[in-house]
Structure 1
Amino acid sequence: MRLIGNLLWIVIGGGIVLFVEYLIAGLFLCVTIIGIPFGIQAIKLSLLALLPFGKDVVQTERGSGCISTFMNLLWIVTGGIVISITHFIFAVLCAITIIGIPFAKQHLKLASLSLTPFGHSFS
């Protein structure tokens, strides 16, 4: 079921577009030394945006420190809230139809992770 869901996500759900957008943003962020941690998180988000079915978002043990809280606040201020709202809007649009409900769930998963990516991982 994961394979079918991921294939449909890439073709219909916009997975390839999300992957390319997150990847390009991550590579641009990695150009500067200050942006490298943010670029790495964007590249991780791109991998999750390409194949989201069958992956769960979990909080890491070291993710509750003050550094990841500071990085999450910086991420939210510089664009994380816009990305999260975009995923939420796509989730609402997908949830209008019964066929789009699994895609809406994946957009909600990506919305929560794109709001606070530091201190979380997916497996």
Structure 2
Amino acid sequence: MNALLNVIWLLFGGIWLAIGYFLAGIVCCLLVVTIPFGIASFRIGAYALWPFGRSVVDRGGRTYFFSTLGNVVWVLVAGIWIAIGHVLTSIPMFLSIIGIPLGIANIKLIPVSLMPLGKEIVPTSGTRFPQQLR
């Protein structure tokens, strides 16, 4: 079921989201100071490419302070606009029956797009669709 939802997601917008995140990652990696944001953009892009069957968890660890500081900068510069974009693109998806899971996947991208540093994308082993809302 996850593979089918991922293919539908890919055809109806996932590829464009991923390309956007990958382009942002390239731009961020060109500027030396923003390389951590570029790496985070690549990670989000990979997640936006194939979101069903995976979820976002906190990485934790000793770099918590620096991740929080970087996330504050990210939210102020880009995160809030990306989150608004995800909300606005999820609204038309929710309007159709087949688009409801795609809208949920778009909403699932909001936390990692708001605060990408210190997050890790992990596979959800053996879970069904409603449990992926975590």
TM-score (ref. length: structure 1): 0.93
Within the alignment, does 1:55 sit opposite 2:54 as a pair? Answer: yes
Moved more, 84-93 or 22-31: 84-93
Q: 2:32 aligns to what SS in structure 1? A: coil
Q: Root-mean-square deviation (CA), in Å?
A: 1.3
Q: 1:121 aligns to what SS in structure 2? A: strand
Aligned partners of 1:63 and 1:120 also within 8 Å? no
CA distance in 1, matches of 2:62, 2:25: 20
Aligned partners of 1:63 and 1:118 also within 8 Å? no
Q: 1:61 aligns to what SS in structure 2? A: coil
Q: Which runs of no fewer than 5 residues in structure 1 stay unpaired? A: none
1:97 positional shift: 1.9
Q: 2:33 aligns to what SS in structure 1? A: coil
CA distance in 2, matches of 1:63, 1:5: 36
CA distance in 2, matches of 1:9, 1:64: 33
Partner of residue 84, structure 2: 85
Within-5 A mapping of 1:108-123: 108-123=107-122
Deviations 1:44-81 (A, max 9, x none): 01100100110011111228721111000000111110
Deviations 1:58-110 (A, max 9, x none): 11122872111100000011111000110011122211222211001110111
CA distance in 2, matches of 1:77, 1:39: 16
1:8 positional shift: 0.5
Amino acid in structure 2 at the alignment position of 1:2 = N
| Dislocated runs of 4+, deviation >3 Å | none
Aligned partners of 1:22 and 1:46 also within 8 Å? yes
1:27 positional shift: 0.6
Moved more, 47-56 or 63-72: 63-72
Partner of residue 132, structure 2: none
